[in-house]
Structure 1
């Protein structure tokens, strides 16, 4: 997460354009505002959700990781936009970016654990309805994973090579840099999508959210809640819908 105005491979191929100093910082501003609000709300709701299932524990860790990741966005915004002192770029490279990537991979790890777990239980269930719900949940998580994280990691390798090799032209370096930055924005946008996953896939979260906001669940949701509470007597049950 280097400052976008830096040169590549020690040459004069500058990446500083209106895209890197205005467009991308603006996108991060929007993600920061939405992500901080949604994840602060999610963290608050999860405080009242019991950690009785591994699925809940995983989601709580993802919520904390997303909240910490969101707090790094203002530093990148200020560094990339060029309105902050040059020393801030050094802080971003040494500290803020480390926190960003660390929490991004923490989120990826826990999503992997959820997929391995919301898969193992699919084969242990005899109900076709339960299997369909589990398949839907796995598909949703994998869809978000592919959209947010795969493009960035596909771009990261050629971008890194362009920074260490003199065989790339200036235009190639710029193109790979922009691809890396925009796919990194997609990865950052994951902090806005995760709370939506909590709402649709985690019934205890949705139930507690409605309770705290003094809202009433729909009739169909009331039936689901009743079923999930009865299923708590089963050792392999998991409160997701």
Structure 2
């Protein structure tokens, strides 16, 4: 019951934060590649948010076998696609920030063009769906000879499906660590460049320096804490599934994978916080929304009297 309880607690927070993020992204024009990536990230997070109740139902193992197979064949691949779309977009956002801050001349390059931003974002969706999502759905087509299969989705995969599953997991795991290196390098360079600019200008504004360091540190921590644990345990768990490697405590490997997956899902609640710190248009729109809501409240509510 522990994992379903965590998802149940996560859901209302995710709905609140991502509803706000969706409202802001609709009302903020796409004037930069950063906003294009951010809006695609919001869309990915909303899809994952809507899937949380299904995840809870699945984790409780109370649904019929037909639901379990439908989840394994269609819904689970969609969730993983959205996870790696988020990872890809966070890598693009890091590179975009790097080009604008560390390499200012990069603003005139094609990678800072709005059309390029839209094309690369659409390409990420298409590539991940075509190379991981659709093949997984097609090859998850085996009907096990048990009346109520629950637990691992591997029971629905034949030999080809198992081979594809292993290859996809290893490839995506390597892809994550490459993006992780990109994110770390970009934000370390950004932090160094901003601090150096303060020194060159002779500014003694320690508060601004600390604020800059906090932003860089926050992005790195969110990325690593959200996605790092899952990718540390995913490959050993997959080898256990596909090679039937016996461990003394197989259940602990499963729990570690599920907890890592929860941390990766919880990223949908952390992304809106990053938007607020990294995007001036986003933070200004949120502040304006809060101010307008306060202005519409009755005066006796604002003053705390009845």
Using the size of structure 2 for normalisation, the TM-score is 0.59
CA–CA distance in structure 1, aligned partners of residues 36 and 92 of structure 2: 11
- 1:110 and 2:188 equivalent? no
CA–CA distance in structure 2, aligned partners of residues 42 and 206 of structure 1: 10
CA–CA distance in structure 2, aligned partners of residues 75 and 39 of structure 1: 18
Structure 1 residue 213: deviation in Å?
2.6
Structure with higher Rg: it is 2
CA–CA distance in structure 2, aligned partners of residues 76 and 186 of structure 1: 14
Structure 1 residue 136: deviation in Å?
5.1
Find the counterpart in structure 2 of residue 165 from structure 1: 243
Higher relative contact order (CA 8 A, sep 6+): 1
CA–CA distance in structure 2, aligned partners of residues 117 and 28 of structure 1: 32
Q: How does 1:125-204 map to 2 (within 5 A)?
A: 128-129=197-198, 137-169=215-247, 171-204=248-281
Among 39, 56, 64, the residue aligned to 1:77: 56
Contact 2:226–2:266, Cα closer than 8 Å, also in 1: yes
The 3-state SS of whatever aligns with 1:84 is coil
CA–CA distance in structure 2, aligned partners of residues 210 and 193 of structure 1: 18
CA spacing shift, 1:60–1:26, aligned 2, 3 Å? same
The 3-state SS of whatever aligns with 1:88 is helix
Structure 1 residue 160: deviation in Å?
0.5
Flag the structure with higher helix content.
Answer: 2
Among 66, 76, 92, the residue aligned to 2:45: 66
Contact 1:24–1:182, Cα closer than 8 Å, also in 2: yes
**What stretches of structure 1 of length at least 5 have no aligned partner?**
1-21, 217-241
Find the counterpart in structure 2 of residue 17 from structure 1: none
- After superposition, the C-alpha distances for 1:142-189 in whole angstroms (9 at most, x for unaligned) are 2211001011011000000111234413x4321111110001000010
Find the counterpart in structure 1 of residue 285 from structure 2: 208
Structure 1 residue 134: deviation in Å?
6.5
- 1:123 and 2:102 equivalent? yes
Structure 1 residue 50: deviation in Å?
1.4
Using the size of structure 1 for normalisation, the TM-score is 0.74
Find the counterpart in structure 2 of residue 230 from structure 1: none
Q: How does 1:215-230 map to 2 (within 5 A)?
A: none
Find the counterpart in structure 1 of residue 155 from structure 2: none
Structure 1 residue 215: deviation in Å?
5.3
